[in-house]
Amino acid sequence: MESAVSCFRHQELGIETTFISSGMQLVFRCFNQILFMKQFLSFLLLVSGFAANAQTESGNYLMGGNLQLNTSGHNTVIQLDPTVGYFFVDNFAGGLNLNLGYTKVGESPNAAQSSTLGLGPFIRYYVGSANVRPFLDVDGNFSSKKNKIGSDYSTTSTGITYFVGPGAAFFLNRNVALEGLVGYQHAAYKNQIGSGGFAFKLGFQVYLNRTEVNTVTNP
């Protein structure tokens, strides 16, 4: 009888020990999971902060472009401005701007048409580090313009164009931003009266650091 009771007590003690051990293991696992989640959330906050500030840091690159499109009646204006730049210091970038333009005024076959090809520098200064980031843009181009009226008469002239105005970059993620600019645009060609006025541009830019550029150029 005493042997049976002793055996029963040993079994109870074993069950209690097993239960306590299982409980401790469960608590330890929960603690590890909480610790991991805390570390993971801290990592996400760190990455988010880095992503919000890294795009316009010194040493980064930007490449993209802007588009102007205006059609009214028989008049059409199309202008494409690809850009490639480099951030010399935080928030301040400079680079090259290519200008491709086409204008048509009037109705064929007597419409006045012009095509423009230009190349020149640009500079930008960004403000802040938010996902919506304002900037000031100044660019200029040395341009060649070919004018054509109907099918019989054409001329070619050279000149200078420039744009000055504010804009805003809307970052979709770490690398890509949509942007809009509004400002004053002026063109002056040899033997022609200069003209200028309000201009609105829409476009996008891709922002890359040096490692990402090396990955793209040396896969």
Q: What is the CATH number of the domain that holds 142?
A: 2.40.160.20
Q: Are residues 134 and 43 in the same domain?
A: no
Tokens of 9: 């007590």
Q: Are residues 13 and 38 in the same domain?
A: yes
Q: Are residues 83 and 181 in the same domain?
A: yes
pLDDT at residue number 43: 39
DSSP letter string, 158-218: EEEEEEEEEEEEEESSSSEEEEEEEEEEEEEETTS--EEEEEEEEEEEEEE-HHHHHHHH-
Tokens of 37: 């989640």
Query: Residue 69, SS3?
Result: strand
Indicate the number of domains in the chain: 2
Give the CA distances from residue 111 to residues 80, 135, 145, 150, 164, in Å, rounded to whole numbers and listed in that order.
22, 38, 16, 6, 30
- Give the number of other Cβ atoms within 10 Å of residue 164's Cβ: 15
Cα end-to-end span (Å), the chain: 81
Mean pLDDT computed over 77-104 = 93
For residue range 16-27, list pLDDT tens digits in order.
Answer: 454 445 545 544
Of residues 207, 15, 48, the one with CA closest to residue 124: 207
What does the DSSP 8-state code read for residue 108? T
Domain housing 49:
1-54
* Predicted TM-score (pTM) of this structure: 0.68
- With bands split at pLDDT 50, 70 and 90, how would you rate the model's confidence at 74? confident
pLDDT at residue number 25: 55
